[in-house]
Amino acid sequence: MGVLRPWRRVDACLLAGIAVAAGAVIAGLHSTGIRPAYFFQPTGAFIVLGGTLGVMLLTTPGHALLNSVWRVFRLFTRASGGAEALIDEIAISARVSRREGPKGIETLAKKTVNPFLRDALLLVCDIDNRDQVQGTLETALRLRERQGEADARTFEVAGGFAPTIGIMGTVVGLIEVMRQFGSIQAVGYGIGTAFVSTLYGLAAANLLLLPLAHRIRARAAEELEIEELIAEGVVCIADGIHPALIRARLREFLRKKETSMAPPQTVETAKGVSA
């Protein structure tokens, strides 16, 4: 029996969110009757974009910033198959382990697409002690959780500074307006232009940076849930548990995780159900 090899698919929900947000902003600007070119101000763009990038470089080490950017690219795709496919793959691995031993597991691990499952299976081949396998996997899970939080924090910090940098651009624009105070028409146009910088800062924070931070956290939580499932299954393989029992145990493990993530019932809801 072959191993199911998951493929990457485009995250349609993320693309839809980008399209809706961009469309709403464009429609709102169009409804004002102002020419779109009015909102493209090089001075404000340089100050907001350059200042925000500078803040990211100041607050985040280079390698961590690269990891955060790479995680953003990964948001656009996700593995198909889900938890049930992984449970089947782990059960297959358990069957091969019982029949062929570590050599069969090593061969199977090389064909596995999920990197965490591949590394976990190779760990079972190299380490005979069940407790050491479990401890190593738990450490790996903690590190992955911290990495996800660090990547999200990079964009969250930048999102906190972007509006303030936008206000700095507005102040620069107002200073330029004061130099042309003799012309009322120039003053009116200059004030509008100056506040475009504030718009840039708010848009960068609330339509890009902060949503990215939340999305990274959500995806990291999804991936951690899958990796916890893999760790549980691989520890079962190390214990020599029967594949059928492993399958049942992992499905129960998944059910408990889903139950723990469900919102608690209110008192009124509970009374209504009991009635």
pLDDT of residue 267: 42
Mean pLDDT (whole number) for 196-217:
92
Interatomic CA distance for residues 155 and 187, integer angstroms: 36
pLDDT tens-digit map of 79-106: 666 788 888 989 998 998 888 888 888 8
What is the maximum alpha-carbon separation in the chain?
90
Residue 31's Cβ-count burial label (10 Å; 0-12, 13-18, 19+) is exposed
Interatomic CA distance for residues 99 and 152, integer angstroms: 43
Q: Where are the domains of the chain?
A: 51-258
Has residue 18 got a pLDDT over 70? yes
Looking up tokens 């893999």 gives 230
CA nearest to 223, candidates 156, 141, 154 = 141
Interatomic CA distance for residues 136 and 141, integer angstroms: 9
Q: Which pTM does this prediction carry?
A: 0.80
Cross-strand partners of 10 = 77
Confidence of residue 265 (pLDDT cuts 50, 70, 90): low
pLDDT of residue 253: 81
The alpha-carbon radius of gyration of the chain (Å, integer) is: 26
Q: Which helix (H) or strand (E) holds 150?
A: helix 130-179
- Percent of residues, the chain, with pLDDT higher than 70: 85
CA nearest to 156, candidates 33, 52, 31 = 52
Mean pLDDT (whole number) for 76-80:
75
